[in-house]
Amino acid sequence: MADAPAGVLRRAGEGVHAYGLIVGMWVRSTMAYRTSFVMMALGNFAATALDFVGIAIMFTHTDTLGGFTLPEVALLYGTTSTSFGLADLALGTMDRVGRRVRDGTMDTLLVRPVPVLAQVAADRFALRRLGRVSQGVLLLAWTLYRLDVHWTPVTLLLLPLMLISGAVIFGAVFVAGAAFQFRAQDASEVQNAFTYGGTTMLQYPPTVFATELVRGVTFVVPLAFVNWLPALRILGRDDPLGLPGWVDFASPLVALVCCALAGAAWRAGLRGYRSTGS
Amino acid sequence: MGLVRLYAAVAVSGFRRYATYRMATAAGLFTNTVFGFIVAYTFIALWNERPHLGGYDQAQALTFVWVTQALLGAACLIGGGFQEELQERIRSGDIAVDLYRPADLQLWWLANDLGRAVFQLLGRGVVPLLVGALCFELALPRDPLTWLVFLLSVLLGVVVGFGLRYLVALCAFWLLDGSGVNTLNGLLSIFFSGTLLPLAVFPGAFGEIVRMLPWAAMLQVPADVLLGRHGGAGGVAAALGFQTMWAVLLLAAGRSVQAVATRKVVVQGG
Amino acid sequence: MADGEGQGTVDGFIELDGVEKVFDVRRKAGFLRRERHRVRAVDGISFRVPRGEMVGYIGPNGAGKSTTIKMLTGILVPSGGRLRVAGIDPARDRTRLARRIGVVFGQRTTLWWDLPLRDSYGLVRRMYRIPDARYRANLERCVELLDLGDLLDVPVRQLSLGQRMRGDIAAALLHDPEVLYLDEPTIGLDVVSKAKVREFLRDVNAERGTTVLLTTHDLTDIEQLCKRVMVIDHGRLVYDGGLDGLHAVGGSERVLVIDLERELPPITDVPGARPVKVEGPRQWLAFAATQSAAPIVAAVAARHPLVDLSVREPDIEEVIAKMYADRKAL
C-alpha cells in the first residue's frame, strides 16, 4: 500500500536529489586538499593501469591467451574497467555501512528526510575514482581503434548498452554488499571478492576459466552479463557455455533484475537494523 | 632482558589486536581465496602457451599464486599495516609522547607489526594455501627444513616491508596529508613485489632491475625459497642475504630519518 | 481523522502507551558457542508530553534512554505498545516525521569537517527544502543567539567543541522543527558554552514553543531548563514529575552552611537538623528538603554566635543515585 508507483518515483527522485547534494559537499571537501586529490587521482589511474601492464607483460611471452589476442583481451579489459569504474565512482564508498553501524553514525542518517540509501551511496564520494574510469575509457578507445571487427548497427548499439548495464550490475553488487554489512559489520572485504575480483576475472577471456566458474558468474552472480556475453557477440565468438544467441542482448534485463534484488536486500538490511539497532 | 620482554609484549598485543577482528579475517580469507582461483586460471592459460615461462613449470606457477594469496595480509602486499595510525599520531602531535617513552619508536612499531604479521600469516595464510593445494596441483616441498627456511624468509620479507612502510609513515612529519605517499607506496608494492605477476616473468633488463629492488624481498624471494629455486644451501644463503641486506639498509634509513624528525619535533616542541 | 495530526495536540504532542523494545542479544559463552538471550531495553513506558513543554529524560547508562529517543525519531521500530509524535507513527512514517523534528546527538556532529559552517547549513536548507526567506530568518536568529557570526566561514575542523555543539544545535533548528531531541547537548563543553547553550534552548522553547526532550548526565541542565523530569531505570519509568517532587521521593536533604564566631563542638541541639561536617568555625547542618529553612536558621541564631549562613540545595545527582539504590534494595 505504501509503495504506490507514484510514491516510489517520488522517493527515487528525492534520493537522486539528495545524492547530488551530498556528492557536491564531498567534492568541495576534497578540494580543501587539492594536491592530495591530484596525487590520489593519478594514483587511482596508475593502479588500474598497472593491472593492464601485467596483462601486457603476459603478452610479451605469448600471442594469445585462452585463444584471444591482446586487442581482444583489451576489449574485455576496457569494457569491464569502464563499467566497474563508473559503479565504483558512484557507489564505491558504500562499504562504510558497517563502520557507520559500529560507531553509531548510521542513526544520524535515519533522522533526515531523504532516503538512507542515497545518503550512504554518496557518503565519502571520491572524485579521484575518475582515474579508473578514464583508464578504462582510454584503453577502450585504443582497442576499438586496433580491433579488427566487422561493426554492424546491432553491435554498435550493443557497446554502450553493455557499458551501462555493466555499471548497473556492478552497482547492484555494491548495494547488496552494503546491505550485507548490516548483518556482518566487519565483512566489508567480502564484497571485494565480487567487485574487484569480478572485474579482474572479466578482464580475461571466459575460455581461461573452468566451466563451473563461468557457470557461476553467469547464473549465480550474473557478472558474465557485464561484458563477456555481449563482447563475445561483438568479437564474433561463441560463448563457452553454448547459450542461445539472444542471451548476448539480455544484459539490460539482467541489470534490472539485479537492481530489484539489491533493493530488496537493502530494505531487508535496513529493516533488520531498525529492529535490532545493533 | 626487560627490553626484550617489553617488545615481546608489544608484539603480542599487535597479534591480539588483529585476532579480535574475526569477521574481518573470515571476509579477507574468502576474498583471498576467490582471487587465488581467478589468478590461478589465468596462469594456467599462460603456462599452457609457454610451459616453462620464467623457469617455472605450471605447478610452480600455481604455487606462486597461492603463496601470494597466503602472504597478501602478512606482508601487506596490497596495502594495510600500521602506517596510517603512525601518521595520525604524528599529525595530532601525540608522537611527542611516544618519543619520550623508554621504548625505541622504530623497534616498538616493528614489534607491533611483527605481531600483526604473525597473526595474518596464521589467520589469512594457511587456509588459502590449503585450498590451493586441494584444488590444484602445487609444487610444495616435503622437506620440513625448506618450510622452516621459507618461514625465515617470510619474516625477513615482512621486516623489509616494514622498513619501507616506516619510511612512508615518517613522511607525515613533512607532509600535511600522507594519503598520496601511501597510495604511491601501495602501487610500487603491488607491482614490484610480484603480486601481479612473478618478477621472474618480467622481461629483459627491466626484469633484472626489478628483481634487485627491495620489493622483491617481500614475495618473490620467499616464494622462490619455498619452490627450491635457489638451488643448494649456497643459493638459499645468498637469497636470505639479499633480504637481510635490504632489511638492514631500510631499518638504518628509517633510524636516520627518525633522528632528523625527532630533532624537528624537539625544536618545534611538537 | 482517526489518526489525525490535530488530535495529538490535545492529549499530548508526544504520546507513548506501553512502549517496549526487546533486543535479542548474542553473548559469547565459550570458544565458539554463542548464547542468545532477550534484553528488555524499554519495558512498557507510557507518558505524554504536551506541545511546548521542555522535559528532562534522565537515567543511568543502559537504562533505555537512547533506545527511547531512537524510537521517538523512528530510527528503531518498537517491539510493542503505541507511540505517536505529532500524530505520526515514527516507525512507519520516519521520513515524513523527519521534516518536523530536530535531533542533536551530543557526540556525533552532523557538520562537514572540512567545509565552512555555512556550507553545512546550505545543505540542510536544500535537503529539507526550506523556503529562502524562512531559512535566512532562522539562520540570522541562530547566528545572533548562539554567537556564530564569526564562525560561519570557518571550516568546522577548526572549531572548538563548544563552538561545534552550538553549530550543531543551529543546524537542527533551521527547518523549524516542532520538537527537538537533544542527546547530551552539553557533554564536554566548558562553563561558558554550557551557559550559552542553555540560554538558547530556554529561548527557543519560550518564543517558538518548540517541544524539547533532553537527555543528559549534567543535572544542572535539568535544574536550569526543565520543570518536568522523567527518570528511567532498567527500561521502566521510575519517576515523572517536577524537580521538587523528585527530592521528596528521593528523601533528599538540604544543607545549611553556618559560619560561627569561633570553633565549637558540632551543633546537635537544633530539632530537625543534624551536623554532617565541621571544619573550624564552619559547620554543615542537614535537614529534610521538604522542610522550611527559616525555623532552623532562627533556632541556630538564637543559641549560637552566628556570623554568616547559606543554604545549599540538594544535589539531584545524589537524589537519583539514592533512588536507584532504593529500587535495588527492594
**Range of weakest confidence among A1-15, C22-36, C269-283:** C22-36
B-contacting chains (≥3 CB pairs under 8 Å): A
Q: What's the gap between Cα C4 and its chain centre?
A: 29
Which chain A residues are Cβ-neighbours of C178 within 8 angstroms? none
Best CATH choice for the domain C5-247 from the list 3.40.50.2300, 3.40.50.300, 3.50.50.60, 3.30.300.30: 3.40.50.300
Which chain C residues are Cβ-neighbours of A277 within 8 angstroms? 23, 67, 70, 75-76
DSSP labels, B38-61: HHHHHHHHHHHHSTTGGG--HHHH
Q: What's the gap between Cα B36 and its chain centre?
A: 18
What torsion do the CA atoms of A21, A26, A28, A34 make, to the nearest 10 degrees?
-160
- pLDDT at residue number C287: 87
How many other C-beta atoms lie within 10 A of the C-beta of residue B188? 17
Predicted confidence band at C255 (pLDDT cuts at 50, 70, 90)? confident
Mean pLDDT of A226-235: 95
- The CA–CA distances, whole Å, from A61 to A72, A174, C110, C135 equal 16, 36, 55, 66
How many other C-beta atoms lie within 10 A of the C-beta of residue A142? 14
Smallest Cβ–Cβ distance between C73 and the set A2, A111, A276 belongs to A111
Mean pLDDT of C154-159: 93
Contact B184/A53, CB-based, under 8 Å?
A: no
Q: How far apart are CA A120 and CA A29, in angstroms?
A: 17
Q: How far apart are CA C26 and CA A96, in angstroms?
A: 24
Task: State which residue of chain A sits closest to C92, comparing Cα positions.
Answer: A2
Predicted confidence band at C3 (pLDDT cuts at 50, 70, 90)? very low
Handedness of CA A96, A101, A107, A112 (dihedral sign): positive
**pLDDT of C117-126, one tens digit each?**
999 999 999 9
Residue partners of B65: CB distance under 8 A and separation at least 6: B36, B39, B40, B43, B132
**Contact A/B (≥3 CB pairs under 8 Å):** yes
Q: Is C90 helix (H, G, I), strand (E, B) or coil?
A: coil
- Owner of C-alpha cell 611471452: A61
Tell whether A62 lies on the interface with C, counting CB pairs under 8 A: no
C-contacting chains (≥3 CB pairs under 8 Å): A
How many other C-beta atoms lie within 10 A of the C-beta of residue C303? 11
Mean pLDDT of A157-178: 97
Let me know: does B66 contact B133? Beta carbons within 8 Å: yes
Q: How far apart are CA A219 and CA A226, in angstroms?
A: 13
Which chain A residues are Cβ-neighbours of C128 within 8 angstroms? 113
Which chain A residues are Cβ-neighbours of B23 within 8 angstroms? 184-187
Which chain A residues are Cβ-neighbours of C112 within 8 angstroms? 25, 29
Let me know: does C146 contact C174? Beta carbons within 8 Å: no
Let me know: does B222 contact B153? Beta carbons within 8 Å: yes
Contact B41/A58, CB-based, under 8 Å?
A: no
For the cut 90, the answer to whether the pLDDT of residue A173 exceeds it is yes
- pLDDT at residue number A1: 43
Contact B23/A43, CB-based, under 8 Å?
A: no
Tell whether A107 lies on the interface with C, counting CB pairs under 8 A: yes
Let me know: does B187 contact B173? Beta carbons within 8 Å: no
User: Residue C113: which of A32, A262, B30 has the closest Cα?
Assistant: A32
Task: State which residue of chain A sits closest to B202, comparing Cα positions.
Answer: A57
Residue partners of C46: CB distance under 8 A and separation at least 6: C16, C17, C18, C19, C81, C237
Smallest Cβ–Cβ distance between A277 and the set C70, C74, C101 belongs to C70
Residue partners of C125: CB distance under 8 A and separation at least 6: C135, C174
Contact A274/C77, CB-based, under 8 Å?
A: yes
The DSSP 8-state label assigned to residue C155 in this structure reads B
In terms of residues, how long is chain C? 330
Mean pLDDT of C232-254: 83
Smallest Cβ–Cβ distance between B196 and the set A54, A185, A187 belongs to A54
Tell whether A102 lies on the interface with C, counting CB pairs under 8 A: no
Which chain C residues are Cβ-neighbours of A33 within 8 angstroms? 114
Q: What's the gap between Cα A153 and its chain centre?
A: 26
Smallest Cβ–Cβ distance between A107 and the set C75, C91, C155 belongs to C75
For the cut 60, the answer to whether the pLDDT of residue C8 exceeds it is no
Q: How far apart are CA C37 and CA C183, in angstroms?
A: 28
pTM for this predicted structure: 0.88
Let me know: does B250 contact B160? Beta carbons within 8 Å: yes
Q: How far apart are CA C329 and CA C322, in angstroms?
A: 10
- pLDDT at residue number A82: 97
Which chain C residues are Cβ-neighbours of A271 within 8 angstroms? 77
- pLDDT at residue number C9: 41
Predicted confidence band at C209 (pLDDT cuts at 50, 70, 90)? very high
Predicted confidence band at C6 (pLDDT cuts at 50, 70, 90)? very low
Residue ranges of alpha helices (H) inside B50-176 are: 58-71, 83-92, 95-99, 105-135, 144-170
Residue A193, min C-alpha distance to chain B (Å): 5
Residues forming beta bridges with residue C236, ordered by sequence position: C233
What are the cell numbers at A113?
A: 528526510
Specify the DSSP element, H or E, that contains B7.
Answer: helix B2-19
Q: Is A98 helix (H, G, I), strand (E, B) or coil?
A: helix
Q: How far apart are CA C92 and CA C88, in angstroms?
A: 8
What are the cell numbers at B204?
A: 629483459
How many Cα neighbours within 13 Å face the side chain of B231?
A: 1
What are the cell numbers at A271?
A: 529493516
Q: Is C75 helix (H, G, I), strand (E, B) or coil?
A: coil
Mean pLDDT of A133-141: 94
**pLDDT of C285-312, one tens digit each?**
888 877 888 888 888 888 888 888 888 8
Mean pLDDT of C273-278: 88
Q: How far apart are CA A194 and CA A179, in angstroms?
A: 14
Mean pLDDT of A113-142: 94
Residue partners of A240: CB distance under 8 A and separation at least 6: A206, A207, A211, A214
A-contacting chains (≥3 CB pairs under 8 Å): B, C
Kindly list the residues of chain A whose beta carbon comes within 8 Å of any beta carbon in chain B. Answer: 33, 35-36, 39-40, 43-44, 46-47, 50-51, 53-54, 57-58, 60-66, 184-190, 192-193, 197, 200-201, 204, 207-210, 213
- pLDDT at residue number A65: 96
For the cut 90, the answer to whether the pLDDT of residue A109 exceeds it is yes
Looking at the predicted complex, does its ipTM rise above 0.90?
Answer: yes
What are the cell numbers at C24?
A: 535479542
- pLDDT at residue number A27: 94
Helix, strand, coil share of chain C (percent; to 5): 35, 30, 35
Percent of chain B with pLDDT over 90: 73
Tell me the Cα Rg of chain A: 20
Domain ranges of chain C: 5-247, 253-313
Contact C123/A32, CB-based, under 8 Å?
A: no
**Range of weakest confidence among A74-78, C171-175, C187-191, C234-238:** C187-191
Which chain C residues are Cβ-neighbours of A37 within 8 angstroms? none
- pLDDT at residue number C10: 47
- pLDDT at residue number B178: 75
Mean pLDDT for chain C overall: 86
- pLDDT at residue number B33: 96
Low-confidence residues of chain B, pLDDT below 70? Answer: 1, 266-270
Let me know: does A39 contact B182? Beta carbons within 8 Å: no
